[in-house]
Each structure stands twice: as structure tokens, then as C-alpha cells.
């Protein structure tokens, strides 16, 4: 893979990326993209994680990847600026313990949780919220360490859950929408979030905070990334082992999304380096 010259990579783009299934593989490995991530950080091109993960999980990723950029957590539930200098924060925000700020965009988890139980009752089924799973079950489903599973369970703005085996996620999404809520399908879990708070809305807020009004290159792999991909200036889908997610295929076929040449960090680094080299 060719990493573009330093001059080419210092472009006027923000890179906004999903993590699980996009930059990270199922073992949470992103090593094939690590050199490019370091280079982008050094050259002032923000790489903004936009993920269903919690803030504490993303902080771990940022430290491992050497990133200091803002990040979007819990499917757009909040936008964090760990280093707010240089960003225009005109929207309501709160300080965080490490000297950063957080812009809340969704509803608190405590408000969402009873609404998930009400949806399940209406569908005459039961959903298993991530916070209800035993640590062993959560580790088995996610491949996380005990510490990682604990961080993943500390939700503030969303309620991830597992559907019953015979449950159709699209029926759950429709009922949620009819009740003024939003359910999004991710890699391992479905996610109940506040209406109107998705990765696309978080992207709009990020754009408003960017004084340079840079163009956005977005990358994702799942239906919960569609609002992000649709809100970007250029959208790249990262395929899984069996190709792109079936629900993203129509937009790829229509030419709205570019399909990366390989899965996870390999495809991510190739697609980002190639796109930024073009200008």
C-alpha cells in the first residue's frame, strides 16, 4: 500500500470513522492502519471515531492509536472534544474530568431503558440489554477482556441489546420509529437511542464546530453508519468477510458509497490514503 507523501496527506479533510467492523476487525486489531493514523495525527488531519462504543472505550482506542481528535460515542449520543482548543464550541457543552468537553446530543440511558422494555412488551418478546448480560456472556459475545467488557457496559446515551433469535430487526426498527424512538443495527448489537440522535446529527454538530469547514471523508460498515455516510462529502464502505453489508449494497451499486478493496484496517488504510492523495 502506498502512503501518500506528507504534502499530499495534509489535505482539507476530516476523516470520520466507525470503529468496530470498519477500522477494527473482530479481534479489535487496527495495526495495518496504525502508521497512517500516526501520520494523519502528525499532519493535523483529524481522525474522528464515530462509534457505538462508550467514551471510556474510545479513550483507550485513542491512546493506543495516538489520536487527540474529537470523538463521537454511543451512536451519536454525545460528541467529545478531549482537546477543545481550535474548535468552535457554540453549542451547549459540559467539562469532562480530563480537561475536555462533551456535547450531549441524545437522551440519558436512564430515560431510554424503560422504553426498550416497553417495545419488547409490545412485540410480545424479550430483549436482552447489554447491561443485563453477565460479564461472561458479554465477553463471549464481544471477545472483550473483563476490563474491556466493563468499559463497554458503562453506557450514558444508549441501550444496546440482543434480539431474540427469530426477531426481525427491521420490525423492531419500524415499531421504534412509530413510537418516536430509534433502533439502529450494529455489528453485534442493536441500539436504542433517542430520536434524531444518530451518527449523522453528530456529524453535523462536528462540522459546525470546525472553523475551517473541512470536507468529510466517512467510513462505515453497518446500517448504523448510514446517517454518517449520507452526511459525508465522500463515503467509503468497508466490507466484511462476505462482502459489504446487504443493506448497504444498494447505495454502493448506485455509486453513492465507494467500496473499499479489503476488510477492516487494510481496506481502511488503502481507501483513506488513496482518497487523501487525490486531494
Binding mask 105-144 for Mg ion (x = CB under 5 A): ----------------------------------------
Rounded to a whole number of angstroms, the minimum distance from the CB of residue 135 to Mg ion is 23
- Contact criterion met (CB below 8 Å) for 116 and 161: yes
Between 109 and 191, name the residue whose CB sits nearer to Mg ion: 191
Give the one residue of 75, 185, 222, 226 binding Mg ion; rule: CB under 5 A.
222
Rounded to a whole number of angstroms, the minimum distance from the CB of residue 225 to Mg ion is 6
- Contact criterion met (CB below 8 Å) for 215 and 206: no
Rounded to a whole number of angstroms, the minimum distance from the CB of residue 117 to Mg ion is 26
- The contacts of residue 133 (CB under 8 Å, 6+ apart) are 141, 162
Rounded to a whole number of angstroms, the minimum distance from the CB of residue 21 to Mg ion is 4
Using the rule CB under 5 A, give the single segment among 94-102, 163-171, 176-184, 216-224 that binds Mg ion. Answer: 216-224
Using the rule CB under 5 A, give the single segment among 19-27, 30-38, 229-237, 252-260 that binds Mg ion. Answer: 19-27
Between 51 and 69, name the residue whose CB sits nearer to Mg ion: 51
Rounded to a whole number of angstroms, the minimum distance from the CB of residue 232 to Mg ion is 15
- Contact criterion met (CB below 8 Å) for 39 and 11: no
Interaction of residue 221 with Mg ion, rule CB under 5 A: yes
**Which DSSP string corresponds to the chain?**
-PPPPHHHHS-SEEEEE-TBTTTB-TT---GGGHHHHHHHHHTT--EEEB-SS-HHHHHHHHHHHT--S-EEEGGGTEEEESS-TTS---S--EE-TTS-EEEE-S--HHHHHHHHHHHHHHTT---EEGGGS-HHHHHHHH---HHHHHHHH--SS-EEEE--TT--HHHHHHHHHHTT-EEEE-SS-EEEE-TT-SHHHHHHHHHHH-TT--EEEEEE-SGGGHHHHHHSSEEEEPPBTTBS-GGGHHHHHTTSSEEPSSSHHHHHHHHHHHHHHT-
Between 53 and 93, name the residue whose CB sits nearer to Mg ion: 53
Between 74 and 221, name the residue whose CB sits nearer to Mg ion: 221
Rounded to a whole number of angstroms, the minimum distance from the CB of residue 186 to Mg ion is 6
Between 62 and 187, name the residue whose CB sits nearer to Mg ion: 187
Binding mask 176-215 for Mg ion (x = CB under 5 A): -----------x----------------------------
Using the rule CB under 5 A, give the single segment among 1-9, 17-25, 90-98, 195-203 that binds Mg ion. Answer: 17-25
Q: Cell 439502529 belongs to which residue?
A: 184
Rounded to a whole number of angstroms, the minimum distance from the CB of residue 221 to Mg ion is 5
Rounded to a whole number of angstroms, the minimum distance from the CB of residue 187 to Mg ion is 5
Interaction of residue 18 with Mg ion, rule CB under 5 A: yes
Contact residues for Mg ion (CB under 5 A)?
18, 20-21, 187, 221-222
Amino acid at each position: 500500500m502506498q502512503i501518500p507523501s506528507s504534502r499530499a496527506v495534509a489535505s482539507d479533510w476530516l476523516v470520520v470513522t466507525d470503529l468496530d467492523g470498519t477500522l477494527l476487525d473482530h479481534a479489535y486489531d487496527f495495526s495495518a492502519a496504525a502508521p497512517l493514523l500516526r501520520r494523519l495525527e502528525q499532519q493535523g488531519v483529524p481522525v474522528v471515531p464515530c462509534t457505538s462504543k462508550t467514551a471510556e472505550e474510545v479513550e483507550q482506542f485513542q491512546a493506543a492509536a495516538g489520536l487527540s481528535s474529537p470523538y463521537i460515542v454511543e451512536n451519536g449520543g454525545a460528541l467529545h472534544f478531549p482537546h477543545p482548543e481550535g474548535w468552535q464550541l457554540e453549542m451547549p457543552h459540559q467539562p469532562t474530568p480530563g480537561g475536555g468537553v462533551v456535547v450531549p446530543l441524545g437522551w440519558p440511558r436512564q430515560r431510554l431503558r424503560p422504553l426498550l422494555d416497553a417495545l419488547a412488551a409490545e412485540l410480545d418478546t424479550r430483549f436482552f440489554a447489554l447491561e443485563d448480560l453477565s460479564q461472561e456472556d458479554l465477553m463471549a459475545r464481544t471477545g472483550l477482556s473483563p476490563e474491556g467488557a466493563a468499559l463497554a457496559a458503562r453506557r450514558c446515551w444508549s441501550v444496546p441489546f440482543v434480539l431474540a433469535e427469530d426477531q426481525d430487526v427491521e420490525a423492531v426498527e419500524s415499531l421504534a420509529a412509530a413510537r418516536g424512538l430509534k433502533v439502529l443495527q450494529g455489528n453485534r448489537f442493536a441500539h436504542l437511542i433517542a430520536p434524531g440522535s444518530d451518527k449523522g446529527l453528530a456529524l453535523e454538530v462536528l462540522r459546525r464546530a470546525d472553523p475551517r469547514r473541512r470536507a468529510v471523508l466517512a467510513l462505515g460498515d453497518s446500517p448504523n453508519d448510514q446517517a454518517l455516510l449520507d452526511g459525508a462529502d465522500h463515503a467509503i464502505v468497508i466490507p466484511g468477510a462476505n462482502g459489504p453489508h446487504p443493506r448497504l449494497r444498494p447505495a454502493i451499486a448506485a455509486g453513492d458509497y465507494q467500496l473499499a478493496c479489503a476488510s477492516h484496517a487494510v481496506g481502511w488504510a488503502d481507501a483513506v490514503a488513496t482518497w487523501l492523495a487525490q486531494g
